[in-house]
Structure formats: structure tokens, C-alpha cells
Structure 1
Amino acid sequence: MARYRDAVCRLCRREGVKLFLKGNRCYKPSCAIEKKGTYPPGQHGKDSKRGKLTGYGEQLREKQKVKRIYGMLEGQFRNYFEKASRQRGIIGENLLILLERRLDNVVYRIGFATSRAHARQLVNHGHVLVNGRKIDIPSFQVKVGDIVSIKRESASNPHILQSFETAVGRGRPDWIEVGDRQVLSGRIVALPRREDITHQVNEQMIVELYSK
């Protein structure tokens, strides 16, 4: 499947906010936003007219931001929007909740990985179990009661252990009940709510963009 393979720090600078795409580096002074500021990358970045975006430009940037946070391609993101549109409730909130329920996001939120890209890799390589069964589909939708864990053969992986130990500093959501270092599992105790999503996004702009 096609994936963005260029420098991800450029994406944060393009959106003007931290998208936390680079794992622990995003929390250090070496973060590109900390070192170079929030102006866009490139030769003329400092001369950008970012603040003058209006209407369609603002809506597009908001959509791009959420796509990049969750590592989506345009077709995938559009499919999530259409699914959210068919559900009851507020479309924008439905969209964000569907994205939060992705298995790769849950693996990241539990703390098994330092970024969603790292979490996607763990899922693809078969390190993750859901209710004791290997699931290697990053887009798998978790539900209340599911237990997400690391398979026994991977439980001693130093990258997973280090990520799990530092996850407290990154924060864990209330809708996931996380075990200890010996267990390496998380149980979905509730569906995510809009207030559980800490990224600064305006989902209504995305709805307005796709509704045109």
C-alpha cells in the first residue's frame, strides 16, 4: 500500500503544529517545530502567507492535518468520512471516533509504539493480538471489551518495552484500561469521545469541505 515516505517533520511544519509523527523526538528540543519554528518548509517558508488562508484553504489544511495525524491517504480518508456520514450523530465527531478506534491508533495510545507509524508497523508484522488472536490489519476497528496485547514472543522486544515505559509521559486516554509491564495489554472499556481527542482540530471544517 502506498505511504508517505518523505521527511515527516516537514508535515508538522507545513501544518504549523506538532502532529507527533516522529515518536519521542517530538518531545525533545530536536523537534523541527522547536528548532525551526512553525513556518512552512522550503526556501520561501518564512515568507508564507499562512495567516491569510480563508474559506476553502482553511478547510483543506484542516483535512490535511487530520489525514497526516492518522497516516491516511485521500481515498482511505474519504471512505471514513462516508462511513461517518451514514452513522447517527455529528458527522465530524463520528469521523474522529472511527479514526481513534483503528487498531494502529489503539496500539499507539496504549503505549506499545512511540508513533502511529511505528504502531502500524507492529500490527503489519503480526506482533499484536486482539482477544488473543493475531490481527495484522491496521484499520481493524476495536470495540468495547476488546483486549489488545502484544504476543508472547514479542513481549521482550526492547523497542516495545521502552515505548511502554515512556507512554505515561505522552498520556493515555481514559477509554483504555492499560495493564502493567508484565502484562502488556490494554482493554477497551468505552468508546472514545470527542473530548478524549487532544489534537487541536476543527472537524466541522472537514465536513464543510466534503459537503461542497
Structure 2
Amino acid sequence: MARYTGPVCRLCRREGQKLYLKGDKCFTDKCPVARRNYAPGQHGQSRKKLSNYGVQLREKQKVRRYYGISESQMRKYFEAADKKVGITGENLLKILESRLDNVIFRLGLADSRAEARQLVTHGHFKINGKKVDIPSYLTSVGETIEVKEGSKSSVRFKEHQEGFQGNVVPWLQMDIENMIGKIISEPSREDIDLPIQEHLIVELYSK
């Protein structure tokens, strides 16, 4: 399945809530969800009661859109989570949070996961001293993520450095002066601040 390349604000409107896919725009009055809080399309304003399956499907789609992943990736992550010890839903979220593009976003080096994905693809980062340009790379505890020396002086990274608020999630550590982040632990469920009901996704895929 090809990656969605249309207006991402339509995705937020389809889910009926802000998914914060456009970075700073999501916090302004220009956010389409705030102005038109109904699904896009000709019949978007008609309210339909969802079945149990529909509720589960919407939750899964919402998570896919948060992290910018395809259906095949989502199913692969679920299968990996199901094989791990622990609660499957929480395992799934931990795997998604460990993606390199999400870690870059969580470190404050990108305004959105989409921007982080683009920066990774363009080869701006090193992990443990080696260049990695795969957004779906699953990071591990103890690894360091560093902005390449040649990229630190770019306007975009300077903006992120100057605007850094120090609000990195508890499982990450950030040295913003040197633009080096470190994964100090696995994320816990309490660390994941997204409004996700992961048990609905487990129910959907377990049918």
C-alpha cells in the first residue's frame, strides 16, 4: 500500500480529532479540525453510529496516522508485539514509539513525525556513530542518536536548537547543545501521551 500523500488535515477530520500531523499549525486557529469538525467529503456532516468493528477499525487507522505507517507495517508490528512477553497492546505501542522517526520527533528535533521521517531519509542522523537513513529503524536502549556534523549548522536544526523547551519524554535524554540524544530506557505506557485505546486494535487483529 502506497504512503498517503494528500492533505494530512483531512485525516484529522476523518478521525474527528486532532492528530497533530502538521506541527505548529495544529495549535493555531487555522487548524481545519477546529473550523470544520466533521469528516471530509459530500456526506461528511452526516452522523453515523459505528458498529463495534467500525470503532476498532477507526482506532487502528488513527494509530496508523499518528505514526505514519502502512497497513502492512502495522500488522507486522502487531505480530511482533503478540509474540513478546507482556500485554500485546502495550508492546505494540512501545514498538511504534521506538521507531527512529518517532524518536527524532520526541527528542524535539522535528515539529512532526512526517518532518522527522523526511530528515532521517535525507541522512541527517547517526546512531552510535553510523549513518542511518531508515525511518522505520527500531532503536534500542543505550543507543545514541546524533545530528551529523555537517547538518548541525543548517537553519532548520538551528531553529529546533533555539526553540528547545527541554520537554523530552522520560525514556529519552537530550543534549541539545551538541544535538545528541540517548535512549535511556524503554517507554512505559504512562509515557505515551496519545489518546489511544490499544485494546481495540488487539481485538480487531485477533478476529
Q: TM-score, normalised by structure 1?
A: 0.93
> SS of the counterpart of 2:123?
coil
> SS of the counterpart of 1:137?
coil
Q: Are 1:178 and 2:189 matched, yes or no?
A: no
**1:31-180 equivalent positions in 2, closer than 5 A:** 31-37=31-37, 39-49=38-48, 52-168=49-165, 171-180=167-176
Cα distance, 1:164 vs structure 2: 4.1
Q: Separation in 2 of the partners of 1:19 and 1:129?
A: 28
Is the 8 Å Cα contact of residues 113 and 164 (structure 1) preserved in structure 2? no
Q: Which residue of 2 aligns with 1:2?
A: 2
Structure 1 runs not aligned, ≥5 long? none
* Deviation readout 1:71-129 (Å, 9 max, x if unpaired): 01111110000000110000000000000000010001101111111111111111011
Q: Which residue of 1 aligns with 2:201?
A: 206
Cα distance, 1:43 vs structure 2: 2.4
Q: What is the alpha-carbon root mean square deviation over aligned residues? A: 1.5
Q: Separation in 1 of the partners of 2:82 and 2:30?
A: 40
> SS of the counterpart of 2:194?
coil
Cα distance, 1:189 vs structure 2: 0.9
Structure 2 runs not aligned, ≥5 long? none
Cα distance, 1:161 vs structure 2: 2.5
Greater helix proportion: 1
Q: Separation in 2 of the partners of 1:20 and 1:41?
A: 17
> SS of the counterpart of 2:165?
helix
185, 190, 193: which one pairs with 2:185?
190
Cα distance, 1:20 vs structure 2: 1.1
Structure 1: which 4+ aligned runs deviate by more than 4 Å?
Answer: none
Percent identity of equivalent pairs: 52
Cα distance, 1:48 vs structure 2: 2.7
